[in-house]
Amino acid sequence: MRKINHILTLIIAFAIIACGGNESTISSILAEGNMENIRAKKKELTTQLKQVEGEIALLDSAIEANSEDDNIPLITALKVKKQDFVHYVELQGDVTTRQNVLVYPEVAGTMTKVYVDEGDQVKKGQALATIDDGGLSNQLIQMKTQLSLAETTYERQKRLWEQKIGSEIQFLQSKANYESQKAAVEQMESQLRKFTMRAPFDGIVDDVIKDQGTVVAPGGPGSEVFRVINLSNMYIETSVPETYITSVTKGKNVKVFFPILNETIESAVRETGNFINPNNRSFSVEIPVPNRSGNVKPNLTARVHINDYRNEEALLIPQSAISENSEGEQYAYVVSNISKDNVAIAKKTIITTGKTQGDIIEVLSGISDGQSIIIEGARSVKDGQEVKILNY
């Protein structure tokens, strides 16, 4: 090898010297301006150039035939090490909330006052609007006056009866009258409460559907007056294939990604269903959604990643490093006997694999901790062949 390289160096050097020695001759020929001499000199130099190129080609062939590295495949290798592997099953779901209700009137009448606007925060029991009671509040005032009289009469009759004064029937009549009047007042108060529409829970007034002065009445669709939503108590319900029934359980970690918001939050499985849907062979899972920013809304689409498996000492390799033989077995190439020049022996080894995550796959058997496998160039390698590692 060294002798051939030395000869090549000498030939190139001679060519350079020859060109340098002819520089003055070429200058003089050009100065004379004789075209016949110029063409003759060009022909001479061209012949010399072709001769040198031919000799270089012969030397290249000799170098290629005697090279020790040209027939060795070039590969890149990866040293396999134990590492924590957390696997997630990817699903899709929609945000929902149990506290998303339409508020309907319980009685018919004109809505005399609306106390809230869209976007207002409300507390449970807070008045949203009042409906004209048609004079029932005035009747209640009269009934309370009668109740006060009935109570006074009953208390007097009771004291007299305890002193053995008066008849028992008078005492019983006053008692019955008082209790009857008291029940009537309570019933009227209950009836009047229906004329005030109140928030069913803490939340936000999402929509004021009817304006003040509108005649409202209880009934079906079209009679709703408000929509109230609680955005702090939302969750995602998604369907999980039955094959994960033992691995997706209550308390498992969940990553929730909202594509529209480009936001990811951490959560956990709050509840798993006890029923397998026969139509799609799946069970339901409920995942609470914290909404600190307030940007998460009901019906928002989310990608749900539920942790179903973890191995703290997993051996992971790229899927591109794996091939499959005619018998359906998976295999990879392990490199051994690595020299100082990064020349090694490729050995084909049958492996079994587990779960995948992206481009990474877990190796269950066939490869040990600390072994090196071929990553790039594995398709052009044969079992037992020498390889040269470029990147290790």
CA distances from 4 to 46, 48, 58, 59 (A): 25, 21, 10, 7
Judged on CB neighbours under 10 Å (0-12, 13-18, 19+), 213 is: exposed
Q: How confident is the model at residue 264 (pLDDT cuts 50, 70, 90)?
A: very high
What is residue 279's predicted lDDT score, i.e. its pLDDT?
93
* Measured CA angle at 313 (ends 308, 319), to 5 deg: 70
- Residue 6, SS3 per DSSP: helix
183: left (phi over 0), alpha (psi -120 to 50) or beta: alpha
Tokens of 66: 């005697």
- Tell me what pLDDT residue 8 has: 46
What is the dihedral angle through the alpha carbons of 327, 332, 337, 340, rounded to the nearest 10 degrees?
150
* Residue 277 per-residue DSSP state: B
* pLDDT tens digits, one per residue of 309-364: 999 999 999 999 999 998 999 999 999 888 888 889 999 999 999 999 989 999 99
Q: The dihedral of CA 69, 336, 384, 381: what is its sign?
A: negative
Task: Tell me how far CA of residue 224 lies from CA of 51, 67, 99, 247, in angstroms.
Answer: 100, 88, 16, 44
Burial of 184 (0-12, 13-18, 19+ CB in 10 A): middle
Instruction: Please write the tens of the pLDDT for every residue from 148-206.
Output: 999 999 998 888 888 888 788 888 999 999 999 999 999 999 999 999 999 999 999 99
Distance, CA of 371 to CA of 345 (rounded, Å): 13
- Structure pTM? 0.60
